[in-house]
Structure 1
Amino acid sequence: MTSPHKPPEIFLSMPHACSYLPGRTATSLFLDPRQPLDSRQYAGFMRLGFRRSGDLIYRPHCRECNACIPVRIPVNRFRPDRGQRRIWRRNQDLSVMARPPLFQEEHFELYQRYQSSRHPGGGMDDPDPQKYLNFLGSRHIHTVFYEMRLNQKLLGVVVTDMLPDGLSAVYTFFDPGPKRRALGIYAVLWQIEHAREQQLPWLYLGYWIRECQKMAYKGHYRPLEAFLQGHWVNLDSPHTRTGS
């Protein structure tokens, strides 16, 4: 039997087509899925640039590419820009409620509408409820599904992992109709504020990929810290050459 104190083994995946940058080949480091981590242990790997998809905890590790950069927002130093402040005010009529990470038909229908509108043919619009839960949930990490509602209407679901030193923005899906609300941006702003209320220092955003449109938005939240060469650094520092 594996000791719970033994560090999990780390494996390297086989090369595969990159999901974000066409024409590139990717490989990932991933933890042995037979040795589950709790939220405290997972937070330690988050600080090393890892991320989860379902129960799989991984980090890009490509020989000839370093485009995927782990980023986090220091919530007490975050200052929204003018557009973000406008989006925050525009959505103050929404209520946000915490729900357990369980299957709900209303959530799943919204998820399918979101995928069909935002990522058609991307492989994530599979009408299988179990695959949906396997992607968003985790058997061992404390995850919350936050509902964004306008009166009784469900407009979005913000999937968030609760960690000892911060929150991790796992995934957000929302009604693609009311574009003026910019619900994806609002979800990040709400998680920043929620982390601040919980006196947690970080909101982890996953991987920022400047060359990928659907991942480049993470560079719009400042200040922003990136995990580069084994250290967390401020992207606004004059000594940081990554840019935005």
Structure 2
Amino acid sequence: MTHLPTRFLINRNLIRLASFSSILRRGRLNSLILASSSSLSHPVKTPVLCSAVGVSSRKSVFVGFRASHTMASQSNQPQSVHDFTVKDAKGNDVDLSIYKGKVLLIVNVASQCGLTNSNYTELTKLYEKYKDQGLEILAFPCNQFGSQEPGSNEQILEFACTRFKAEYPIFDKVEVNGSNAAPLYKYLKSAKGGLFGDSIKWNFSKFLVDKEGRVVDRYAPTTSPLSIEKDIKKLLEKA
């Protein structure tokens, strides 16, 4: 057996000890990084020199999950009025995607309001003038304001169609404010709040919707339908 010089053996052992110590330090550093990143809601950005495989893979998985979750949430959210299904006055489902390519004026109506005569009269005039050019008026009866729409769907239809010659669709009675508000109205209010706030203020609030189902404007109950004719024409003329 060959006997190596004592000095050589000592130096070789020191090198091994230094390498082992370095490995231990890196392992502890990586463990600390993993522990700290798992305790945070968002993984920390580690420096390049701390390129621990564990940290990198955990961070990639987390970011990938967050991106997928965000995309899924966005895909579940309505993107336009066309994503909704509502009930007509007879209780049948109506998919609003049938109105793609149409300009919509969506109004919450009432039969016993001080604004009833003027609004119904002007809505009928607008519809007669522009229905062949692509305008649709969607009327949603609502009894939340002064209990001024107390009748049944049949009574509301007879009132609007007989007295005001309304040819546009009148839907099932809905709530437009509060926790029981129709999903369509929750969307309309979130899409166009502004000076009017989140709630509908009274009967005959109006939402103007373009051909792609996007809410482009909102009008107060006291805004007469004929006064927004120019806005309707502008949307109808767009390709």
TM range (shorter): under 0.3
Give the number of the structure whose residues are more often helix, by fraction: 2
Give the number of the structure whose residues are more often strand, by fraction: 1
